Structure 1
């Protein structure tokens, strides 16, 4: 996670951050959300996927990947200051001939008033 956090700029100059099939390797996403919010310009987008979890806030699965509860993602987004644009259930991939369900999440950084 350290590499991911240091890769994000400290100043707000990114319009878009995309992280597909990344956060299933990280349980607690608090620092990631804070860094993404700081790195984005106003009206910037944070788009990512997480595997669907049934335990709040997240769980380490037998696959050694994390699954995140939808309420955790929503709560974390709101606490960080993001606006939730969309959380959609989707099939993220096929693993061992079985579909892996998860969420495709679109967050935006609102303009300051």
Structure 2
């Protein structure tokens, strides 16, 4: 017998992921940690999409939209990591405060 997880529990988990992601983006100074925070925010949004689409099993709009968000997030991560590598090669640091204070 499969038990259904209540929607409230999924939304609480999603809110916690979103809050942790926002906290990481705001508080961390390392570029890779900021990217990880953005990925947590994307995952929280995907969790909400899938949770709400569960209420209408005939229409899979939430799952399809979530798939597109995952694809965009993967492309964003690849481009962002390439930018971080170029910034590191130029400034010899991945600390965002030091990069912002240095002039090219």
Could you tell me the TM-score, scaled by structure 2's length? Answer: 0.29
Q: When you count strand as a share of all residues, which structure comes out higher?
A: 1
Could you tell me the TM-score, scaled by structure 1's length? Answer: 0.27
Q: When you count helix as a share of all residues, which structure comes out higher?
A: 2
